[in-house]
Amino acid sequence: MVAPLYTTASGLLFHAGKILVVTIGLPARGKTHISRALERYLRWMGVKTQVVSLGDYRRKILGGTQKVPPDYFTLGEKSPETQELRKKVSEGCEKLIWEFFGNGGQVVIYDANNGTRKARLALAQKFDKAGIHVVLLETLCDNKEIIETNIRSVKISSPDYRGWDPDQAVQDYYKRIRDHEKYYETVTETTWPFIRIINVGEKIMVNNIQGYLQTRIVFFLMNIHNKFRTIYFARSGQSLIEHSYKADSDLSPAGWEYAERLKEFVLERRAKSLEQRGLSPQDRKLVIWTSTHRRAHHTAWPFLATAQASNIAEGLPMSSSPEPSSMLATPGQHMVSKIASPVLNVKVVEKPQMLEINPGIWDGLSPEQCKKYYPEDWERFLKDPYAFRAPRAESYHDLSVRLEPILIELEKEQEDLLIIGHASVIRCMLAYLIGLPASEIPAIEIARGDLLEVVPASYGVHSKAFHFWDGPGRRVLGDSDVGKNENNFYENYAEDTKGKRKVDTPIPPEGDLAGV
């Protein structure tokens, strides 16, 4: 397994050398989406990685489509002005690549069309002579629906088409694609390793892949897609015994109320989000992941109860799961709605890898008690909250290793996903998605009563936080900090990271985290 901060004495990972991944493909084939996703994964592994985007660089120095010559996006014969501009952009991108490698970077993903054999051959030879491993990454797509979706959801919203009529922007972009198709040459050369991805993950072909790091790149690319989905994060409800890792206690009465409110808020927010995209919640499945602790998977029961009630109202077969029925009959569970609602297609999956971080002998102790009984360990903890491991405990690094298979499943999942989990687990998963360095994971505040919404996109992720709960379990009496339990701080507290940037996730409703 791989996790952050595993580096060698050379400062590079696995002695794999420096790698230039050259993307190849016609416009709207998913190159940018794949490049950004791969960058996120490699950075999570601890590999110093950067995407150099020719399109971003061109917009930075030349502006949008309106500010370049008409023949700029066509291949073949060009005016002297266009030739000079294209040369300026190309040389500028190459300079960025050399600078990143010169400053200790290990992997550069060059996000550009590179559609002619002559152009990519010259580029590859230049870096190969400098001892940099070159990997060609070609993306092909013959699925018209994927191409159309990519154009409408990504390309026409770029600065190139700011202020354009959407339909006119689509037609203009199709014209750009047709111009490139006249000169595009698929990869047939076998001089360097190459990876060919068809229809953004439908099929993958590899040639001459060498070494561990290149193999990890292939493994990751086999598990991604670019279908629209939303990922939600929420903490589990308050349990009867909050301060103990070992006590697998059930939800408290307030915890059951929280679970019901979470269900209502998620369904309401999800319906609103899908309707804005012209989609129906009834046509899409909601997948819920929880840990195997009772307080986590019991927080998902109201979703199952609502799904069962809606199926009964629609005359559909009842779920074979016994939980919703027992939940309706359990004293104190009167908050479950018995009113018929639209059909809810929901699936709950328990994952043992998502158990909270193990505090070891610090289980149930307050910060003052840890400092008193384990002064030396406490000093080590303050110096490096990410790598510190209390006796018989897990560090956040250990937790990151444990969660890596879950992150791959996260990339594979194509349905809307709600993750009901523990603060430590959500910290790691959220840091992976929004691209935070490992050292900042312990600093992320995850308050009970906040729903975090993450939408993966081609140019990163769009993230928001929504506040929906102020009841018991959110605040500790006399404590000014939300979501913190004095006797379970190892799991619940966001620790000081000594001047590093701190992420404030519990923010006012509709607050935007995309700039994190």
The set of catalytic residues is 111
Task: Phi first, then psi: give them for residue 225, nearest 5 degrees.
Answer: -150, 175
User: Taking Cα atoms as reference points, which of 217, 230, 364, 369 lies closest to residue 288?
Assistant: 230
Q: How far apart are CA 190 and CA 468, in angstroms?
A: 56
Grouping H, G, I as helix, E, B as strand and the rest as coil, residue 289 is: strand
Q: What is the 3-state secondary structure (H, E, C) of 248-305?
A: CCCECHHHHHHHHHHHHHHHHHHHHHHHHCCCCHHHCCEEEEECCCHHHHHHHHHHHH
Rounded Cα distance, 171 and 190, in Å? 36
Amino acid present at 69: P
> What is d(CA 6, CA 443) in angstroms, rounded to the nearest whole number?
20
- Exposure of 228 by Cβ count < 10 A (0-12 exposed, 13-18 middle, 19+ buried)? middle
418, containing H or E segment: strand 416-421
Measured CA distances, 101 to 8, 106, 119, 241, 434 (Å): 17, 6, 21, 51, 24
- The closest alpha carbon to 33, from 457, 489, 504, belongs to 457
Alpha helices in 51-165 (DSSP H): 54-62, 80-102, 117-128, 144-153
Is residue 113 a contact partner of residue 73, using CB atoms and an 8 Å limit? no
CA 310/CA 426 separation, integer angstroms:
30
> What are the backbone dihedrals phi and psi of residue 290, each rounded to the nearest 5 degrees, phi first?
-135, 165
289 CB-side CA count, 13 A:
23
Between CA 262 and CA 128 the distance in angstroms is 54
Give the chain's length: 516
* Helix (H) or strand (E) segment spanning residue 232: strand 231-235
Which two tokens mark 181?
Answer: 């198709």
The SS3 assignment for 381 reads: helix
